[in-house]
């Protein structure tokens, strides 16, 4: 069965509650005819409840951008999986490169978070990707494959369905830079990730897992990327901040549009 494409907005540290509400109000009618594509909005904790409320009874999935893998306790400043579920969100970004690089998240922490999200029934979007230096040094695959492998030290690929986890290939050099990976580079990395998932969890598992591309996606460049066979959609930062441009991306990713891959 074909994988269902996903277009996900990562708002990062943007939007007040009022802005979140206005955004969803503007977005929903603009994407009302997009069929066959999953839409997610990853909001800051402070506006997450508003996004949950505004998207209730719609197909739009509300998600958090981060959480901690323990369920409760003395972890000042952190939010747990049960708290995210309590708000009514259904997904969470795990291991975004900004969390890894700015906030020092290690591969093991990312793996623990991915495992806890899965066990809590939250859909984790696990981010992987190499830096410019790593790409230039020819070690893209060493980096990315290592990041993927370590997730399955904590997540039992044999014990879950492929639909229960999503990966996002986000080359760090393409994030917020305006420099997008070529469709060929995106397909190369994502195809290799799928191959590795096949080694880890078997062919049918690998065929079910959705793998998104992220990094300077815009309405003008997304079609050729998501048309590639292994690319199942996008995780979008800057171009998701305006409802109109995110709606364009969602509509372009719907399988019956010309852009859907």
Judged by the rule CB under 6 A, the positions of this chain that interact with ligand 13P are 10, 96, 170, 175-176, 214-217, 235-239
Q: Least CB distance from residue 7 to ligand 13P, whole Å? A: 12
C-alpha to C-alpha distance for 121 and 221, rounded to whole angstroms: 33
Cβ proximity to ligand 13P: between 63 and 214 the closer is 214
With CB atoms as reference, the residue minimizing the distance to ligand 13P is: 237
Minimum separation from the CB atom of position 220 to ligand 13P (A): 13
Q: How far is the CB of 45 from ligand 13P (least distance, A)?
A: 16
The nearer residue to ligand 13P, 157 or 250, going by C-beta atoms, is: 250
Query: What whole-number distance in Å separates Cα of residue 168 and Cα of residue 166?
Result: 7
Strand boundaries in 113-231, DSSP class E: 123-128, 166-169, 210-214
Q: Which residues are catalytic?
A: 96, 170
Give the residue with the Cβ less far from ligand 13P, 91 or 239. Answer: 239
Nearer to ligand 13P, 237 or 260 (CB): 237
Distances (CA, A) of 216 to 30, 36, 56, 148, 179: 22, 24, 29, 22, 6
Answer yes or no: are the C-beta atoms of 63 and 92 closer than 8 Å: yes
Are the CB atoms for 179 and 132 separated by under 8 Å? Answer: no
- Least CB distance to ligand 13P at residue 202 (A): 28
Q: Which positions ≥6 away from 259 have C-beta within 8 Å?
A: 222, 223, 226, 227, 252, 253
Record the tokens describing residue 127, joined without a space.
Answer: 């981010």
């Amino acid at each position: 069965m074909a994988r269902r494409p996903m277009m996900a907005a990562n708002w990062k540290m943007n939007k007040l509650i009022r802005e979140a509400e206005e955004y969803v109000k503007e977005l929903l009618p603009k994407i009302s005819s997009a069929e066959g594509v999953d839409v997610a909005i990853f909001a800051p904790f402070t506006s997450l409840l508003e996004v949950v409320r505004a998207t209730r009874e719609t197909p739009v999935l509300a998600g958090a951008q981060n959480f901690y893998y323990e369920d409760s306790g003395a972890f000042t400043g952190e939010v747990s999986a049960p708290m995210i579920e309590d708000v009514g969100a259904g997904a969470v970004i795990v291991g975004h490169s900004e969390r890894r690089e700015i906030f020092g998240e290690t591969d093991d922490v990312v793996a623990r978070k991915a495992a806890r999200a899965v066990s809590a029934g939250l859909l984790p979007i696990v981010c992987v990707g190499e830096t410019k230096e790593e790409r230039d040094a020819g070690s893209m695959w060493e980096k990315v494959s290592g990041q993927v492998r370590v997730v399955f030290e904590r997540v039992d690929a044999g014990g879950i369905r492929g639909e229960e986890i999503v990966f996002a290939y986000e080359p760090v050099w393409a994030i917020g830079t305006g420099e997008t990976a070529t469709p060929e580079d995106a397909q190369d990395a994502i195809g290799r990730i799928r191959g590795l998932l096949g080694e880890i969890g078997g062919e049918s598992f690998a065929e079910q897992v959705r793998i998104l591309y992220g990094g300077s996606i815009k309405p003008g460049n997304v079609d050729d990327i998501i048309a590639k066979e292994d690319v199942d959609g996008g995780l979008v930062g800057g171009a998701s901040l305006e409802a109109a441009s995110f709606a364009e991306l969602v509509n372009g990713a719907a399988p019956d549009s010309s852009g859907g891959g």
